[in-house]
Structure 1
Amino acid sequence: MRAPVLPLLLMLALPLVVEAAPFPATATPTQVVLGRDKAVVVQVKVPRGTPPLRAVASTGNLMPLPATARGVYSYRWIPPDIRYPLLAVLAFWVDAAEGPPEVTTVRIPLLGRTELDVATDVGAGAQVVVQVADMRFGPVTTNRKGRAQVPVEVPPGVREAIVFATAKGQQTRRTTPLDVPPERPLVAVLSPDVFPVDGTGWLTLLGEELVPRAEVELQVQGGAVEEQGPGVYRVKPEAGARAVVVDAHLKDRTGAARVMAPVAAPIVAVVPPPEPSVVAPPAVTPAPSVDWSQYLSWRFLSLHLMAGGFFAGGDNRGPLVSAGLGYRLPPLGGRLALEVEGGLRQVMSQPRLGAEGPVLNSRVVGLPLLGSVRVLAFERGPLSLHGRAGAGILYYDQRVTSTSFDEPLIQQGSTFMGFLAAQAAWRLGAVSALLELRGSYASAQAQQIDAQLGGLSASLGVRYVL
Structure 2
Amino acid sequence: MRAPLFTLLLLLTLPPLAAGAAPFPVTATPAQVVLGRDKAVVVQVKTPRGTPPLRAVASTGSLMPLPATARGVYSYRWIPPDIRYPLLAVLAFWVDASEGPPEVTTVNIPLLGRTDLEVATDVGAGAQVVVEVAGMRFGPVTTNRKGRAKVQVEVPPGVREALVLATAKGQQTRRTTPLDVPPERPLVAVVSPDVLPVGGNGWLTLLGEAPMPITEVDLKVQGGGLEELGPGVFRLKPEDGASAVVVDAHLKDGTGAARVTAPVSAPIVVDVSPQPPPVEPPPVKPDPGVDWSQYLSWRFVSLHLLAGGFFAGGDNRGPLVSAGLGYRLPPLGGRITLEAEAGLRQVMSQPSLGPTGPQLDSRVLGLPVLLSARVLAFERGALSLHGRAGAGVLYYDQRVTSASFEQTLIQQGRTFMAFLAAQADWRLGPVNALFELRGSYAPAQAQQIDAQLGGLSASLGLRYAL
TM-score (norm 1): 0.94
User: Identity over the aligned pairs, expressed in percent?
Assistant: 83
Match of 2:453 in 1: 453
Q: Does 1:245 align with 2:246?
A: yes
Q: 1:262 to 1:315 in 2, by over 3 A?
A: same
Q: Which residue number in structure 2 is paired with residue 199 of structure 1?
A: 200
Partner of 1:357: 357
Deviation string, structure 1 residues 288-325 (Cα, Å, up to 9, x no partner): 43222211111111110011111111111111110111
In structure 2, the residue matched to 1:234 is: 235
1:357 & 1:276 partners in 2: Cα distance? Answer: 101
* Structure 2: distance between partners of 1:124 and 1:362: 70
Give the Cα–Cα distance (whole angstroms) in 2 for the partners of residues 378 and 401 of structure 1.
49
Query: In the alignment, which residue of structure 2 is the partner of 1:300?
Result: 300
CA distance in 2, matches of 1:277, 1:156: 68
- In structure 1, runs of 5+ residues without a counterpart are 1-16
Contact in 1 for aligned 2:125/2:145 (Cα 8 Å): yes
Equivalence for 2:270: 269
Asked if 1:140 is matched to 2:141, the reply is yes
Cα deviation, 1:39-61, whole Å, max 9, x if unaligned, reads 00001011111111110000000
User: Partner of 2:5 in structure 1?
Assistant: none
Matched, 1:320 2:328: no
The answer to whether the aligner puts 1:464 opposite 2:437 as a matched pair is no
Corresponding residue number in structure 1 for 2:103: 102
Which residue pairs with 2:13 in the alignment?
Answer: none
2:369 and 2:131 mapped to 1: Cα distance? Answer: 59
Question: Residue 416 of structure 1 corresponds to which residue in structure 2?
Answer: 416
Find the aligned partners of 2:28 and 2:233 in 1 and give their Cα distance.
Answer: 26
SS in structure 2 at match of 1:214: helix
Query: Matched residues in 2 for 1:276 and 1:255: separation?
Result: 61
Q: Distance in 2 between matches of 1:277 and 1:204?
A: 48
More divergent stretch after superposition (364-373 vs 284-293): 284-293
* Helix, strand or coil at the partner of 2:359: coil
| 1:285-296 correspondence runs (5 A) | 285-296=285-296
CA distance in 1, matches of 2:21, 2:404: 79
Q: Distance in 2 between matches of 1:67 and 1:277?
A: 46
Structure 2: distance between partners of 1:276 and 1:183: 66
Instruction: Name the CA distance, whole Å, in 2 between partners of 1:44 and 1:24.
Output: 6
Amino acid at match of 1:204: T
Q: Which residue of 2 aligns with 1:53?
A: 54
Match of residue 260 from structure 2: 259
**2-structure distance, mates of 1:65, 1:25:** 15
- 1:366-391: CA deviations, max 9, x gaps? 01111111111111111111111111
Instruction: List runs of 5+ in structure 2 lacking aligned partners.
Output: 1-17
User: Offset of 1:282 from its aligned partner?
Assistant: 3.5
Residue of structure 2 in register with 1:213 after alignment: 214
CA distance in 1 between counterparts of 2:372 and 2:110 reads 43
Instruction: Provide the rounded CA distance (Å) in 2 between the counterparts of 1:225 and 1:275.
Output: 46
Cα contact 2:21–2:103 (8 A) shared by 1: no
For residue 160 of structure 1, what is the aligned residue in structure 2? 161
More moved, 19-28 vs 98-107: 19-28
* Whole-angstrom distance in 1 between the partners of 2:411 and 2:305: 29
Q: Deviation of residue 275 (structure 1)? A: 2.5
Q: TM-score, normalised by structure 2?
A: 0.94
Q: 2: distance between equivalents of 1:171 and 1:451? A: 74
Q: Distance in 2 between matches of 1:275 and 1:421?
A: 68
Q: How far 1:286 sits from its partner (Å)?
A: 3.2
| Inter-CA distance 350–275: structure 2 relative to 1 (3 Å threshold) | same
Instruction: Label 1:341 to 1:217 Cα distance change in 2 as closer, same or farther (>3 A).
Output: same
- How far residue 272 of structure 1 moved from its aligned partner, in angstroms, is 5.5
In the other structure, the counterpart of 1:425 is 425
Q: Is 2:328–2:338's contact at 8 Å kept on the other side of the alignment? A: yes
Q: Secondary structure at the match of 2:293?
A: helix
Provide the aligned length of Structure 1 versus Structure 2: 448
Amino acid in structure 1 at the alignment position of 2:270: A
Q: 1:7 corresponds to which residue?
A: none
Deviations 1:392-429 (A, max 9, x none): 11111111111211212111111111111111101011
One-letter identity of the residue aligned with 1:401: T
State the one-letter code of the partner of 2:94.
Answer: W
Instruction: Quote the Cα distance in structure 2 between the aligned partners of 1:367 and 1:405.
Output: 27
